[in-house]
Structure 1
């Protein structure tokens, strides 16, 4: 076996020689090449579906211009972006990666999740990206962000998924649940662009960074974005029932799943209970773990939003929770979110 010699320094600062088999070095190179090729393939596939969103808006009596990113999710021109990108817009234009430009109209928006839906004003069939099932995401998976940070069109950053099931406060003060945390660098202008996986499917809509913190970037999970999209297309807005809780995704230990005969890997942990509110009235407490609602398994926060649609507002639903290892059921009457 052939070797390469490297000069390194130990903890005391003394220089010494180290050897590394060239085969190992070649393996590392092959892995890096595979990673690079995977990112390149994803960018080639998804970039045509990413658009630069240009907005003329009025806020506080002042007229200005803004921009962000968006992603086409259907060939007839449906585009997902952030609500804060288009808020107050008087006119919206979309620019594709090849420079083609066309207008867009607002189909609907949901400030609670910072998601907006646009319709491209073109008769052409557009390249589009498919939405992934964000419930299957795991920390450590590759995450690739494509957008227009600081006005630089079609920029790409790559990293990993740092965490799933986070909560993030939207501009209107509401908590956005089921947020994906990534260390793929995001900057102003990335807002509304896609966060994609190694298969080229959208796993989130980039929404925010924490200024002054490195590697803390967030995207609204694709399942939440898809739910908002379908609600807006069906009703023009998102009608929601609320339980009056703040919750986060939690993993269910195997022993608990086995003991209770559960097939789901996760549930939601209740961090706090609003007073007054439906959950408090029903008897739920902080620390409870909700595993089912209205007979549907609750494996993540986005599942609650799906159950609490318009037809469940002011109607009794049964919540199944774990409390101190005991399985309990509570009857709750969701209220409509204002």
Structure 2
């Protein structure tokens, strides 16, 4: 009972404390609450004011955004219009460029045609100039040979015609041997109806060359002799002559090849021949082959044709060869050539069974008393049969001449032609399988 009273007392005391504390708190906090309410009211007022400003700003921003969007749309439309206009302009410029490219291409074609025409005109002018410079020195040659006709009981003349070229003011004329060979009388003419008697100074059948001489008239036209060692394939080649008795005919082509070889009627080989596709026909023989500088580079001599007419293969004796021959003919009336005195053949023409070297010239015979005989060169003294053919063996094999290799008989003949009579030369030989060298003093070739 006593504990219950204590509990109640504590409870009442607590309630009284709460009531008293609440009253005290109310009395103490009321002014502060009033201040807080005032501040809250003021804060709400400011918030409302700020919210209004924010709403106004948002409205302005929205308005500005709408204006910017409108302006952007207008600008985009303008840009699209400008882009479209620029595209149209670009397309127009591309069309203009394509047209300009086409015009440029057409102009290039026109320029090419003009260049071609200029080149053609220049070529024509060159040919015209060459003809004017050289043709006055080209002569028409008539050779007359008398033969006795036993039926008619009298001499009957037969004539041949050809061409020649005046090479100096003394009246010397270069031509072909076959043009004047066997002639009893020779005349030349610079124009129809005016014939001049010509003297035969000398002939050289191995090169098919001959030299004539006339008494030089005043202002005798002469041709300039060039350098045939400088002739190259592709150079312009102009032939002037009298084909089929058609005086001073000019034909034009190119140098088709150089250093050809042709066989002379004497069985000699003519080296260094110039081949041309300039039309050369019977009657052109002896006339000049000329370059674009009006220089004589060769003497027209032969054609290769099954119909005895031009088929685009003509041959001219190089003028450097003609100069050497002409100088000797004028000085002595004949041409002096070095002489070895052997017969033989290229080892490549013999069968491998003979065991010869791969290159060189096998000496078959040595002419008694010849320079080769005097120097002790050996011919082939025995024979060997291979199959059904008998071959000479045992002779020296020539492999070099003064250090220059000799592979074929043509090499040997060409090298010998370059030597002078009285020159001592050294031959490289293979004798009995051993390499040796022998000196030979070249003598003058016997006149035929």
TM class, shorter-chain normalised?
0.7 to 0.9
* Equivalent position of 2:364 in the other structure: 275
Deviations 1:1-58 (A, max 9, x none): 4556xxxxxxxxxxxxxx9721111111111111111111111100010000011114
Gap runs ≥5 in structure 1: 5-18, 248-269, 294-298, 322-327
With over 3 angstroms needed to count, the CA separation of the structure-2 counterparts of 1:130 and 1:60, relative to structure 1, is farther
Among candidates 328, 332, 335, match of residue 440 of structure 2: 332
**TM-score of the superposition, structure 1-length normalised?**
0.74
* Equivalent position of 1:178 in the other structure: 272
* Equivalent position of 2:168 in the other structure: 74
Larger mean Cα displacement after TM superposition, 206-215 or 83-92: 206-215
Displacement of 1:292: 5.7
Larger radius of gyration: 2
* Equivalent position of 2:420 in the other structure: 308
Higher strand share: 1
Deviations 1:191-241 (A, max 9, x none): 000001111111100000012372211011101100001111222100111
Displacement of 1:246: 10
Q: Give yes or no for the alignment of 1:241 onto 2:343.
A: no
CA contact (8 A) 1:57 1:65 kept: yes
Among candidates 135, 154, 157, match of residue 229 of structure 2: 135
With over 3 angstroms needed to count, the CA separation of the structure-2 counterparts of 1:329 and 1:72, relative to structure 1, is farther
Displacement of 1:115: 0.3
CA contact (8 A) 1:165 1:300 kept: no
- Secondary structure of the residue aligned to 1:24 is helix
Gap runs ≥5 in structure 2: 1-102, 150-155, 346-358, 367-371, 379-395, 406-410, 430-435
**TM-score of the superposition, structure 2-length normalised?**
0.57
Q: Aligned partners of 2:124, 2:360: CA distance in 1, in Å?
A: 40
Higher helix share: 2
- Secondary structure of the residue aligned to 2:299 is strand
Q: Give yes or no for the alignment of 1:210 onto 2:304.
A: yes
* Equivalent position of 1:42 in the other structure: 130
Q: Aligned partners of 1:147, 1:132: CA distance in 2, in Å?
A: 18
Larger mean Cα displacement after TM superposition, 76-85 or 127-136: 127-136
CA contact (8 A) 1:284 1:330 kept: no
* Equivalent position of 1:198 in the other structure: 292
* Equivalent position of 1:156 in the other structure: 250
- Secondary structure of the residue aligned to 2:168 is coil
With over 3 angstroms needed to count, the CA separation of the structure-2 counterparts of 1:172 and 1:303, relative to structure 1, is closer
- Secondary structure of the residue aligned to 1:206 is strand
* Equivalent position of 1:29 in the other structure: 117
Displacement of 1:291: 6.5
* Equivalent position of 1:227 in the other structure: 324
> Aligned residues, how many?
286
Q: Aligned partners of 2:105, 2:258: CA distance in 1, in Å?
A: 42
CA contact (8 A) 1:245 1:272 kept: no
Displacement of 1:60: 9.3
Structure 2 matches for 1:96-175, cutoff 5 A?
Answer: 96-97=190-191, 100-175=194-269
* Equivalent position of 2:188 in the other structure: 94
CA contact (8 A) 1:246 1:273 kept: yes
Displacement of 1:90: 0.9
Deviations 1:284-331 (A, max 9, x none): 547x687669xxxxx99877535223x33xxx223689xxxxxx9763
| Higher RCO, 1 vs 2 (CA within 8 Å, ≥6 residues apart) | 1
CA contact (8 A) 1:97 1:154 kept: no
Name the Cα RMSD after superposition. 3.4
CA contact (8 A) 2:344 2:364 kept: no
Q: Aligned partners of 1:131, 1:141: CA distance in 2, in Å?
A: 16
Deviations 1:130-165 (A, max 9, x none): 211111111111111000001110100111111111
